[in-house]
Structure 1
Amino acid sequence: MSYKILLPQPILESGREYLLERGYELLDGSGFEEEDIIRDIKGCDAMIVRTAKITKRVIEAADRLKVIARHGAGFDGVDLDAAAEKRIMILYAPRSNSESVAELAIFYMLYCSRNFKLVQKLYKDDYRFAKFNVEKHELNGKILGLVGVGNIGGLVARKAALGFDMKVLAYDPYAAGLPDYITPAACREEIFAKSDYVSLHVPATPDTVNSVGEKELAMMKNTAFLINTSRGTIVDEEALIRALQEKRIAGAALDVLRQEPIDPANPLLNMDNVLTAPHIGAATREASARSSLTCAVGIDDFLSGRRPEFPVPPMKKMLDEMGLN
């Protein structure tokens, strides 16, 4: 009997073909809301998750589930404690979307530097004002401050320093052996105080949720921009709204918001100095293909008795206990 893999949302052909060629049965889900997955999960041995939330109720409803692969670098949408309790392995694809997210972070900095949202709003009615009176800047020579220098932060640093001649300052207590174009910050506060652009590249953990708030925003220059392509929960959204309304910082580019899908009443959506998007950092064709294949390979490795390359960090101990080589 072949293993059955639930796909609450479609994955790209790279992953589907890999699994089908190895004899797996793929079940396309009826939806990706909690009740849909609870209904579909019965009898499934594995699941590949994109944006769906995998709650304790979903885990409890699973009668045969052995492994979940998260289609991306974040795994805060999966209840890890509930999974560990049932000895369900959680895998992810930490490198698959790095290039796409890094490119987007650079795009957001360019967008902010030219005040593009306001330019677009004004130029049809007042061409000359938009051209000459809306303030615009180059990235060249500006200071980029990175909070987190993992796969994505490291790529952003390289593109900014080598492509745009920016000065890169970074804070990451876990980073070692940084290239010479990155200057380690003496402390986290230095990032916010000195940078023209602060770009966030940390996962959502108890230590990082709401870690950019009133204190950090108060340290920033009134000409500086906040760029967030990580998780919406990292930023205290109410504090950010106040800082923007009071013009204590110049603006922000937010690929992620605290509530997803968005609340149409969120004031950030209508500010001229704020760019928002529906979490599109990893939503390129290339990143999705890499993620789909990484998830497929990980599931095949695990179910075949081999050690998968990318368990989420909290699951490494459980993997060691299983003795997979």
Structure 2
Amino acid sequence: MKRVLIATDKPFAPVALEKISTVIKQAGYQLNLLEKYQAKVDFAEAIKTADAVIVRSDIVDREILDAAQSLKIVVRAGAGYDNVDTGYAKEKGVVVMNTPGQNSNAVAELAIGLAIYGIREFFGGKSGGELRGRTLGLHGYGYVARNVHRIARAFGMNVKVFTRYSKAQATSEGIEVTNSLEELYAVSDVVSIHVPARGEHIGSVSMDVLKHLKTGAILINTARKEVVNEADLCRFMEERPDVKYLSDLEPDCSAEFKEKFTGRYYFTPKKIGAQTEEANTNAGVAAAEQIVAFFEKGDDTFRVNK
């Protein structure tokens, strides 16, 4: 009997857990649950006998992988998988998958919500603006950005995008693709970042790009903090008092924001982009189904460490 561990410091919603459990048990597998664990050693102990593990933002590093004695597959219930040491997992013969697109609408709705919050002056009583008729620049065009585009069109926004890898997709949907990231930032009233924290995207939001932002622009980050050069961001915010920055994660330089940029920023208390019951359910069930398909059919469609 295959043993599937769900290891989540931030647990799945009860309705999601019930549906995940149904998928696992219908396959004839044993389900083990580790929630709100207090220490890494708890995770290491729980994973010892697991054949598969589903995680969310939980860290699966060398120590955890070495503790696993029977592990064949790790599934990150969500799109980003920088919390998993994919290279070492590959060395150990462990497949790593993610569940792309399953929480994209939740993150997209947060991005638009942050844009509204920023343009309406943080609901503080000042006269703000409206999104209708303004230009939204999408930095990247993956699953989340495509949902942001869908919602932004309903608000009457003009949408442009810069992407290296999804130009055909964007063009087919009638979106203008800019020639450079700098051009995107220069023409957008609101810029929403949607690139992963790897490769050329690390630190890509630098002073060289930020300096092109138009007057009064709003920068939204629901991706990862690693894609922003934080030293450049703080310097830019000091030089450009007209710009606002709203993020689904607190930057390492948050103390400087609190000291210098009051009324021009907002950070969620913790990363909440995917924290909806619907996203919980979609990503969790997809993870369970991928595990079953992997063991029963050898399906590794969503493998990220080939």
The one-letter amino acid of 2:130's match is: E
- Shift of residue 245 of structure 1? 3.4
What's 2:5 paired with? Answer: 6
Decide whether the 8 Å contact of 1:221 with 1:248 is kept in 2. no
> For 2:48, which of 42, 45, 50 is the aligned residue?
42
TM-score normalized with structure 2 length: 0.90
Check if 1:285 corresponds to 2:277: yes
- Structure 2 vs 1, CA of residues 308 and 13 (structure 1 numbering), >3 Å: closer, same or farther? farther
Structure 2 SS opposite 1:304: helix
Decide whether the 8 Å contact of 1:222 with 1:248 is kept in 2. no
Check if 1:138 corresponds to 2:130: yes
The one-letter amino acid of 2:88's match is: A
- Structure 2 vs 1, CA of residues 264 and 177 (structure 1 numbering), >3 Å: closer, same or farther? closer
What's 2:81 paired with? Answer: 75
Check if 1:171 corresponds to 2:162: yes
- Structure 2 vs 1, CA of residues 32 and 166 (structure 1 numbering), >3 Å: closer, same or farther? farther
The one-letter amino acid of 2:262's match is: M
TM-score normalized with structure 1 length: 0.85
Q: Distance in 1 between matches of 2:72 and 2:206?
A: 39
Q: Deviations over 1:75-98 (max 9, x none)?
A: 111001100001100111101101
Structure 2 SS opposite 1:144: strand
Decide whether the 8 Å contact of 2:188 with 2:214 is kept in 1. yes
Decide whether the 8 Å contact of 1:8 with 1:32 is kept in 2. no
- Structure 2 vs 1, CA of residues 198 and 33 (structure 1 numbering), >3 Å: closer, same or farther? farther
- Shift of residue 40 of structure 1? 1.6
- Structure 2 vs 1, CA of residues 174 and 108 (structure 1 numbering), >3 Å: closer, same or farther? same
Decide whether the 8 Å contact of 1:33 with 1:52 is kept in 2. no
- Shift of residue 308 of structure 1? 3.7
Q: Distance in 2 between matches of 1:245 and 1:164?
A: 31
Gaps of 5+ in 2: none
Q: What aligned pairs does 1:1-325 form with structure 2 within 5 A after superposition? A: 2-9=1-8, 10-11=11-12, 12-29=17-34, 31=37, 33-116=39-122, 119=124, 130=125, 134-161=126-153, 163-175=154-166, 176-178=168-170, 179-258=172-251, 265=255, 267=257, 271-277=262-268, 278-312=270-304, 314-315=305-306
Gaps of 5+ in 1: 120-129, 316-325
Q: Distance in 2 between matches of 1:286 and 1:268?
A: 33
Q: Distance in 1 between matches of 2:274 and 2:144?
A: 11
Over the matched positions of the two proteins, sequence identity in percent amounts to 33
Decide whether the 8 Å contact of 2:23 with 2:289 is kept in 1. yes
Q: CA RMSD in A?
A: 2.0
- Shift of residue 177 of structure 1? 3.5
- Shift of residue 4 of structure 1? 1.2
- Shift of residue 266 of structure 1? 6.0
- Shift of residue 15 of structure 1? 1.0
- Shift of residue 17 of structure 1? 1.5
Could you say which structure has the larger radius of gyration?
1
- Structure 2 vs 1, CA of residues 258 and 35 (structure 1 numbering), >3 Å: closer, same or farther? farther
Instruction: Tell me how many residue pairs correspond in the alignment.
Output: 295
Decide whether the 8 Å contact of 2:257 with 2:265 is kept in 1. no
Decide whether the 8 Å contact of 1:241 with 1:268 is kept in 2. no
Once structures 1 and 2 are overlaid, which stretch shifts more, 19-28 or 302-311? 302-311
